[in-house]
Every structure is written in C-alpha cells, then in structure tokens.
Amino acid sequence: MEIPILYEDNHLLVIEKPVNIPVQKDSTGDLDLQTLLKEDLKIRYDKPGNVYLGLVHRLDRPVGGAMVFAKTSKAASRLSDVIRRQTMERKYLAVVRGAPPRHKGTLEHYLYKDQRKNMVYTVPSTHKQGKKAILEYEIIEQNGDLSLLSVRILTGRSHQIRVQLSASGCALYGDQKYGQSHSKPGQQIALWAHSLAFAHPTNKELVEFHSFPPKEYPWNLWKYINNH
C-alpha cells in the first residue's frame, strides 16, 4: 500500500492516511497504519530490530488525511504535551447534509462513549462520564442540500466531529454510524483531516501540513477542492 509522505525528518513522520485502515492494531486483526509505516521505515533505513514510531493522535478508521507520528520517544512526549495543551491546530473538511444554524460558530456538547457498542452519545453536562467537546466550524461552500465545512477541533474526543454535527442537525455525508437516516450502505464518510499546525518538537518552529481529499463524489462538488 502506497502511503503518501507529506514530511519527514529525524523526529517527525507526517503522512496522508488512506481511508478505511485502522491507525493501530485492533480487534479486527486487519493490517494497520502504524505497522505498515514501521515496516516501511525498517526497509528504507535498513534498521535492525524493532523500529520506534510513536502514535500521538488518531483518526477514525473511515477517515483519511494528514497525521503526524513521532520517530523518537522525546518527540512523542513533546507532541503529546502539545496535544494535551490544545496547541496543535487540527482542521478537517466535512461534507454535511443541510447546514449548521449559522455561517460560522462554535459547537459545545458533553459526550459519553459506550465502549461496548463503540458509540458516542451527547449527554447533559451533569452526566458523570460526560466529557466536554468543543469545535469551531465555518461553511466554505453550499451545493443543493450539501455543505462543505471547515472544522477545527478544540478537544480530541472520540467520534467528536461526527456526533456534534449530527446532534446539530447536519450529519456527515456517508456516516453509517451517526447519520444512518441520510446515508446509504457502502457510502464513504466525507470527513478528511485537512491540516495540522504545531511547534516542531525540537526546534520549536511552527510547522504546517495540508492534505486534500480525492476528487471523487461528494468532494468533487466543491471549487475549494477542485481548484487545489
């Protein structure tokens, strides 16, 4: 499997995650991204033994786009800290049914994850296991009953974008889990990790990376993507 490399140095590996591949080993036993990348590093650099590749953030299995891995434990620790302090800017592109209430705004919910069902639900703020989830969105374009959004997450909750947009009345195109009433079986979820920006773990300079979705339906409806 060809995995596009967006950037690489001694500390970082930034790649474009293909859709429908798990980020790390899971109960399915399917080949995962982390294992593939480790194998690639081992071959490319002729490394003996185990290769270190730290996972510092995740993308849902059906979601593609920009992801950063750490090539050293020091970089992993510093990137994890950047994420914990919410100073890594992560933006997504999302195609939704309908549109949010305003052209741009902030969505805030409390979310609870049922581990057994692997489902996330919005709950009242008083819920003992509810965790606050915040995202910012802006409508880039509209086309018929679909809208292209830019989404920036301020908290890293499981399935956050999918659940918050669905709860706001504009479920993601193709989301089989949180937009079943709108999505047909087999449709690919239209959520893409578009950009990452953060301070480099060693030299502290701001680095920024972009990834664009494939020009296939529904991504090919939008000038913003087609003009890239």
Mean pLDDT, residues 117-142: 96
Mean pLDDT, residues 144-161: 94
Pairing of the two strands 12-17 and 5-8: antiparallel
Complete domains list, the chain, with CATH: 5-226 (3.30.2350.10)
Give residues with Cβ within 8 angstroms of 212, minimum separation 6: 192, 194, 225, 228
**Active-site pick, 26, 60, 81, 145:** 60
Q: The whole model's pTM is what?
A: 0.94
90 pLDDT higher than 90: yes
23 pLDDT higher than 90: yes
Pairing of the two strands 89-97 and 54-55: unpaired
Read off the pLDDT of residues 138-151 as tens digits, 9 standing for 90 and up. Answer: 999 999 999 999 99
Pairing of the two strands 89-97 and 191-199: antiparallel
Question: What does the DSSP 8-state code read for residue 57?
Answer: -
Q: Reply yes or no on whether 26 is catalytic.
A: no
User: Cα 114 vs. chain centroid, distance in angstroms?
Assistant: 20
In this prediction, residue 205 has a pLDDT band, given cuts at 50, 70 and 90, of: very high
The DSSP result for 138-201, as a single string, is EEEEEETTEEEEEEEESS--TTHHHHHHHHTT-PBTT-TTT-TTTPPTTPPP-EEEEEEEEE-T
Q: CA-to-CA distance for 61 and 28, rounded, in angstroms?
A: 11
Q: Which pair of tokens denotes residue 216?
A: 């296939």
Among 26-30, 56-60, 109-113, the range with the most confident prediction by mean pLDDT is 109-113
Q: What values do phi and psi take at 50, rounded to 5?
A: -75, 140
Mean pLDDT, residues 102-127: 95
Burial of 174 (0-12, 13-18, 19+ CB in 10 A): buried
